Structure 1
Amino acid sequence: MSSTALDRLLALVQATGDPADVEVVAELQTAFVALQSARDAAEAANEAKTRFLASVSHEIRSPLNAIYGYAQLLERNEGQGAVRAAQVIRRSSEHLSHLIEGLLDISQVESGALKLSRDTIRFRSFLEQLIDMLELQARAKGIALALDCPPGLPEFVRGDQKRLRQVLINLVSNAIKFTDTGSVTLKVHYRNELATFAVIDTGIGIAPEDIVRIFTPFERVAGGAEGRPGIGLGLAITQALVRIMGGDIQVESTSGQGSHFSVRLMLSQPLEPPVDAGTGAGGVQGYVGRTRSLLLVDDDPAHLAMLTGLLEPLGFAVATASDGEAALALAARVQPDLALLDVSLPGMGGWEIAEQLRQRYGPAVRIVMLSGEHEPHPANGVERSANDMFVMKPFAFDVLLDVLGEQLGIEWLHAGGTGMSAVRPLSAQLPPNLAGPARPHFAAIERFVRIGHVRAIESEIDAIAALGEEAAPLADRMRGWLDSFDLGALSACAKAAQRDD
């Protein structure tokens, strides 16, 4: 029965029928309206879901294209340009991971409950990496992609790196998509902690009547959008993220002549550069102190090989197992300082292994759980007493190093700014009879590093060398760090020497 038929029936009953019948028909009419409204809402939700899934498919195409394209270049060129290709592939993979995490954040964006992080961003490098990731997409269309930065751009800024990357990738990728000839430029300006990002293209432009609609979810403006992937969710998410970060987004465009999107955000500069930033390029090369042993447990051989290849060069003693029984047997032999356990394993699961390790060795072994699931919690609550930390897959290597450093209490050594590697000095540890007398000198070095008192640091190193011949190798290494002004390595060494036996 339709709504019109119900209206006619209600009018007829009101004219000739019993009041009770009138009440029944009125209730039927109300119920019908409610059902119709629920049906319309369900249909709208289903349509929104379909559009959303289509948009997600579009959002992952750019990083996937970069990964696929550079992998093919590596195959064709037999490894030429491997370092740059690997960097682009890694950063594109990171962006895919962030997109997946972003799906979980959408409800938080809508409710205004999204939490922002305060990261220290190496500014110019961050922008260059972003352009590298999208360069293949622009090259495939035969258009130029450029980065325009002023020479006075600060080296470091503070902000939510993941959200800023998502905003800029959405805008630049969108500009490339709607530009068939010419160029796309990301122009950056920074003054008084206010960063302005302008994405300028020579594309199809936007008609005046469409500009007010482009930030509406699922809107597809006319005049050139046909046949292009996506359904208009990217700009809506971009606007929401910019506003949550306390910024502003504007657009100017002329149909047929291109568009100019502008984002303004407050990005403060850190009071001092991060300690591990060093004075030049270079990642972690090792750590100070005794050799730490790790037990890696995963049923994926590729994952075990990857972690082993990353961790062994840093000085870790690595043992691997693919199941629970082998893991427990290995633990009995090597007595690891830390175990990295995958949650999902055939037979004995990761949580059960963690429980048995904790029962056998107590807090002497640190336990870190790895999983591709979102913070799983087994019904028996074993993880509350068994594990020390949980890490989601996929994870950045830097995140893993942070976890290892925190759990094992170690300090990392980095490549020096002059190219001299601050590698872990295996033969340069102080013997027990010198460790005690040297401890006050290390405390002084740590204090002088914080204020940059070079002559005082040099004097304390000389005092350590004077303790005995066995202290000479470590003193020579520390003088090398001082000569290259690698204060981060000196600080790490001083802290570790005060803690290690």
Structure 2
Amino acid sequence: LRTGFVRVYAVLLLITATVAWWLVLAHKSREVAQEESNRQTRLLMQEIESHRLTDEALQQARLAAEHANQAKTRYISTISHELRTPLNSILGYAQLLQEDTGMAPHRAQAIRVINRGGEHLLSLIEGTLDIARIESGKLALDVRPMAFAGAMQEVAGMFELQASAKGLRFVFETGSRLPDTVRADEKRLRQILINLLGNAVKFTQVGQVRLRVMHAREMAQFEVHDTGPGMRAQDLERVFEPFARGQNEVAPGPSTGTGLGLTIAKMLTDLMGGEMTVRSAPGEGSVFTVRLFLPEVHGAVLPRPLALPSHTGYEGVRRRVLVVDNEEADRELIQRWLEPLGFDVMLATSGLDALALLDGLQPGDAGAPDAVFMDLAMPGIDGWETMRRLRASGWGVVPLAIVSANAFDKGLDNDLGHRPQDFFVKPVRRDDLLGWLGLRLQLAWNDVPPSAAEMLALPTQQQPGVEVTRGRDFEPLLELVRLGYYKGIVQWLDDWVQDHPEQAAFAQQLRTLAREFRFDAIEQQLLQRHV
């Protein structure tokens, strides 16, 4: 019996020891697991805190970048305003001087040089502003149906002339049938292609330039091939940076480029939801490829713009216009434009001066203005505040247009509800102002009489000592006119006058129309007289 109890005791003791050991191990395991859990929790909290600090740093960096970008935009806007103000006078008075047919040839040439320099400066300003608008999100696309196939033919025809002038071969290829009409921002699409093809022709000295256009499944692909010097790998990395130029990109003669063409083309492509790539190697030329979503439009009828007439006056009672601008040259320029057409022009040097001139007058009174041209940046009170006070005084019924050098204000929301159609950016074109006045004042214009209109074209009968130009000689010019390529038109006319000096007067008239962007008037003159 004792032996049995001893055995039972030993077994129970062994079981008790095993359970006790198991309990100790389980407790230790829980302690170790708890410690590991606590350690992992601390590490996770540390990681969360690190992420929070990193996110705060990123937010601060983003805010700093936004503030820097806004400061850059304000700087560019200010610089643009300061440049546009004198440029408005330069181009405006150059336009007036070019209309003087009695000017000596050497002085007329000097005026043309001044005008070209002003136009080049304006293109540089516009390019810089385009970049600033895109970066700040203030550039809106104007998407509408466009004649796609015809536009591609026009672009190809224009650069075929430029390539031929340099002794280059230009090839235009279409992978398949191009749609007649697509939805796109035609101005920006042309701007992309003109920048790419312009660089290709400019930097290619021998060989060819090829434009290949394909359209399938609503996607359009444009390829610009050239046999130029090509670019190195390090140049490809910065080819889309502003003012960047590769070491091999050297064109003979003075460079007229701004260094912004590829930058703007790339940014516009991205803005349109597309993709632009480039591949190149030294001595093998370059290939720029653009892919854009351009859906085809069926059954669209595209309106054809009408030619702008030349006005000599208007019918009815004499109208009065108030010009408010702190720049004397800009005030006098508008005055010189309007007074020969029969307008009475009132001049004010500031917003406070304008309010003083109108004090005691009401719309419709004798001596009250029928329309107002208002600058924005002026001493004392700016144009916006002046407009508020005018409206509060009952002048809100009088048509008012803003004429300002601040291009960033156009199209922006304002508490006055001023429309973009009533906003003109300096340097302003005379026909734009006259068109606005005619529309808002419902004027019946007196156009150029037939005898004066005939002076704008070549005579239909050959005069002694004057050679009548054949119609086919103007086909290259018509291509440039239909494309709206101002610089190409002026260059073609300059080259043409060298071979036909007796046609200098006619060429000067066409240059005047081109500078006023009256391309339809030029085309009408050429088609009526020479085709």
TM-score, normalisation: structure 1: 0.50
1:389 positional shift: 6.8
| Cα distance in 1 for residues equivalent to 2:388 and 2:124 | 35
1:306 positional shift: 2.6
Query: Which of residues 323, 342, 345 is equivalent to 2:350?
Result: 323
Please state if 1:394 is matched with 2:426: yes
1:262 positional shift: 6.3
| Cα distance in 1 for residues equivalent to 2:210 and 2:321 | 44
Task: Give the 3 Å change call, closer, same or farther, for CA 181–92 of structure 1 in structure 2.
Answer: same
1:336 positional shift: 0.8
1:320 positional shift: 0.9
Please state if 1:306 is matched with 2:333: yes
Query: Which of residues 255, 267, 272 is equivalent to 1:237?
Result: 267
- Counterparts of 1:94-493 in structure 2, within 5 Å, are 96-97=125-126, 99-106=128-135, 108=137, 114-118=140-144, 144=166, 160=185, 162-172=187-197, 174-175=199-200, 179=203, 181-182=205-206, 199=224, 201-205=226-230, 233-234=263-264, 236-240=266-270, 255-261=282-288, 271=302, 273-275=304-306, 277=307, 286-331=313-358, 332=361, 334-360=367-393, 362=395, 365-371=398-404, 372=406, 374=409, 381=415, 383-384=416-417, 390-391=422-423, 393-394=425-426, 396-397=428-429, 398-410=431-443, 420=453
Q: CA-to-partner distance for each residue in 1:390-414, whole Å, 9 max, x for gaps?
A: 5153364244344333322235566
- Report if aligned partners of 2:221, 2:290 keep a CA contact under 8 Å in 1: yes
- Report if aligned partners of 2:321, 2:344 keep a CA contact under 8 Å in 1: yes
| Cα distance in 2 for residues equivalent to 1:249 and 1:25 | 45
1:28 positional shift: 1.4
1:91 positional shift: 6.6
Task: Give the 3 Å change call, closer, same or farther, for CA 286–162 of structure 1 in structure 2.
Answer: farther
1:308 positional shift: 2.2
Task: Give the 3 Å change call, closer, same or farther, for CA 314–78 of structure 1 in structure 2.
Answer: same
Task: Give the 3 Å change call, closer, same or farther, for CA 261–84 of structure 1 in structure 2.
Answer: farther
| Cα distance in 1 for residues equivalent to 2:128 and 2:321 | 31
| Cα distance in 1 for residues equivalent to 2:437 and 2:423 | 11
Please state if 1:28 is matched with 2:53: no
Q: In structure 2, what residue type is equivalent to 1:273? A: R
The percentage of counterpart residues that share the same residue type is 24
- Report if aligned partners of 1:215, 1:239 keep a CA contact under 8 Å in 2: no
SS at match of 2:443: coil
Task: Give the 3 Å change call, closer, same or farther, for CA 260–22 of structure 1 in structure 2.
Answer: closer
1:300 positional shift: 1.4
| Cα distance in 2 for residues equivalent to 1:400 and 1:409 | 14
Q: Which runs of 5+ in 1 are unaligned?
A: 1-12, 151-156, 423-487, 490-501
Q: In structure 1, what residue type is equivalent to 2:109? A: Q
Task: Indicate the structure (1 or 2) with the bigger Cα radius of gyration.
Answer: 2
Q: In structure 2, what residue type is equivalent to 1:29? A: E
Task: Give the 3 Å change call, closer, same or farther, for CA 337–232 of structure 1 in structure 2.
Answer: closer
| Cα distance in 1 for residues equivalent to 2:314 and 2:371 | 16
Task: Give the 3 Å change call, closer, same or farther, for CA 243–413 of structure 1 in structure 2.
Answer: farther
1:301 positional shift: 1.4
| Cα distance in 2 for residues equivalent to 1:405 and 1:147 | 47
| Cα distance in 2 for residues equivalent to 1:290 and 1:258 | 65
Task: Give the 3 Å change call, closer, same or farther, for CA 323–38 of structure 1 in structure 2.
Answer: closer
Q: Which runs of 5+ in 2 are unaligned?
A: 1-30, 95-105, 173-181, 251-257, 456-519, 522-531
Task: Give the 3 Å change call, closer, same or farther, for CA 310–31 of structure 1 in structure 2.
Answer: farther
1:258 positional shift: 1.9
| Cα distance in 2 for residues equivalent to 1:353 and 1:407 | 20
Task: Give the 3 Å change call, closer, same or farther, for CA 343–99 of structure 1 in structure 2.
Answer: same
- Which structure has more RCO (C-alpha within 8 Å, separation ≥ 6)? 2
SS at match of 2:191: helix
| Cα distance in 2 for residues equivalent to 1:145 and 1:413 | 47
TM-score, normalisation: structure 2: 0.48
Task: Give the 3 Å change call, closer, same or farther, for CA 171–214 of structure 1 in structure 2.
Answer: farther
1:29 positional shift: 2.1
- Counterparts of 1:6-85 in structure 2, within 5 Å, are 17=35, 19-20=37-38, 22-36=40-54, 39=57, 78-80=107-109, 82-83=111-112
